[in-house]
Amino acid sequence: MSVTKRTFLFALIGAAIVFFAGIGGDVWAVVAFVLQLLILILLYLLDLFSTPSPKKISVERVMETKLSLAAVNKVEIIVKNASNNKLKIYVTDDVPFHFTNNLPMEPAVIAPHGQYSFYYEITPLKRGEFLFPAIHVQYNGIYGFCVRKKKFITENKYKVYPNMKALSDYRMSSLSRNMFFQGIKRIRQASFEGEFDSLRDYNEGDSYKHINWIATARSNKLIVNTYMPEKNQFINIMLDSSRVMNSEINNIKKLDYAINASFLLADYCITGGDNVGLLVFDSQVRRFLSPAKGPAQFENIAENLYDVNDTETSADYISAMSVMANKQRRRSLIFVFTELFNSEEAVRFVDSVKKFLCNHIVYAITINDPRLYEYASLSPKNTEDIYLKSAAVKMLSEREKIKAVLNSAGIMNTDADPDKLSLEAVSKYVEIKRMGIL
């Protein structure tokens, strides 16, 4: 409990009365002081005991238990007033450090036995599980002399997952559900291999080998077969969480970009009817999920991705790929999200693939830094510009060497922009399924 501005105002008025009373002598000053103090105490106590107890107030926080990284999430605080008096309620919430928010909320007058919903927004800046420990409520006394407060312990934990919502330019990119299903539709129409799906009229550009001559003879016009890519195939996602993934682009770590892309790729593949597995590694294998399909598997993948953190160890490709080879006997498409910092590391990566995953289709995806191209095209004006330009040119040259090593080994690869990483991964999945080489 504390006092209000009204209490201070009355105290100031009392002080003025004491001052003027002191002109008539010290006795009058003492009497005036005692009287104004007693009156102020009585007013405070009257207000304190007349104002409803915080026990008459109840609160509830309503928000998604699964939050999206770097996306705005709405929080609702429902306050119920079970007293017989209207109260002007002030509410605030304990928000974890790794969240931005638009607190404080505006106060609201809640009628007797009424309720009111307060709203504010949070934006998680880090994946993981976070505690929202308490909600704080305060309101002035009905006569305006006291302030009553209460801390409602909630200790609710909320998980922040990779983002599936639309993101701004400097956030991770995302793909909408419409794009997912449009992509599946395109696969169905353009696939050269797979399971028979339906018949349709011939369109210019269709392969003659897809013409259904029996249907054509019956309808007296060209009819072609359409195919759906084979379902129930095996897709594995290997995610490097070693120290090479902790560098930041637009204040987001490469690991976060890769996790977001993995999250969306898994959703797309499961939507298409395939089995999806996950392996997270650095110097050792940290997590492994055998391929499976359906919503339950997507939930399992989400649970294993939301709190993955980068480490200070180096990536051990031999260990990771040997585990994958032992766990995944059937031929599969394996996406490896990693970062190869030089051509020697690329050679080690290639050797590991050839040794353990030669029976699988391996697709290596790295993340380039667009700033390198900006620095490489600088017109130097000072020593610092010269250094930046030479360093960028050298790094870009090294990335070309890495790409050449992978290409010469026959390993499909992409060095994608961070904001196009998710689209690139899904596009390659669609392309490989369309080609029917899995």
pLDDT (tens place) for every residue of the chain, 438 residues total: 565 666 667 666 666 665 665 666 666 666 666 677 777 777 778 778 888 888 999 999 998 888 888 788 899 999 999 999 999 999 999 999 889 999 889 999 999 999 999 999 999 888 888 999 999 999 988 878 788 899 999 888 888 887 655 333 333 343 444 444 444 444 444 444 555 556 677 676 666 676 777 777 777 777 776 655 567 889 999 999 999 998 888 878 899 889 988 988 898 889 888 999 999 999 999 999 999 999 899 989 988 988 888 889 999 999 999 999 999 999 999 999 999 988 899 999 999 999 999 999 999 999 998 888 887 787 877 888 788 888 888 888 888 999 999 999 999 999 999 888 888 888 888 888 877 777
**Two domains, one topology: 54-161 and 177-185+231-435:** no
% helix / strand / coil in the chain, to the nearest 5? 40, 30, 30
Supply the pLDDT for residue 373.
80
CATH number for domain 54-161, candidates 1.10.10.10, 2.60.40.10, 1.10.760.10, 1.10.8.50: 2.60.40.10
- Measured at the CA of 308, the angle between CA 304 and CA 311, to 5 degrees, comes to 145
CATH number of 177-185+231-435: 3.40.50.410
Q: Which residues make Cβ contacts (< 8 Å) with residue 431, sequence separation at least 6?
A: none
- Domain ranges in the chain? 2-50, 54-161, 177-185+231-435, 195-228
The pairing of beta strand 73-81 with beta strand 114-124: antiparallel
Alpha carbons 102 and 120: distance in angstroms, whole number: 6
Supply the pLDDT for residue 240.
95
Angle between helices 254-271 and 177-190 (to 10 degrees): 60
Supply the pLDDT for residue 92.
94
Alpha carbons 260 and 306: distance in angstroms, whole number: 9
Pick the closest to residue 419 from 305, 285, 242, 256 (CA basis).
Answer: 256
Instruction: Please say whether the beta carbons of 245 and 258 come within 8 A.
Output: yes
Angle between helices 421-435 and 177-190 (to 10 degrees): 20
DSSP state of 211: B
Supply the pLDDT for residue 206.
66
Q: Considering Cα of 147, then 152, then 157, then 159, what sign does the dihedral take?
A: negative
Supply the pLDDT for residue 68.
82
Q: Which residues make Cβ contacts (< 8 Å) with residue 239, sequence separation at least 6?
A: 258, 259, 262, 278, 279, 280, 281, 305, 308, 337
Residue 57 has which token pair? Answer: 């107030």
Phi-psi region at 249: left, alpha or beta (left = phi > 0; alpha = psi -120 to 50) = beta
Identity of the residue numbered 85? N
Residue 96 has which token pair? Answer: 């974890």
Supply the pLDDT for residue 191.
45
Burial class (CB in 10 A: 0-12, 13-18, 19+), 17: middle
**Global confidence as pTM:** 0.69
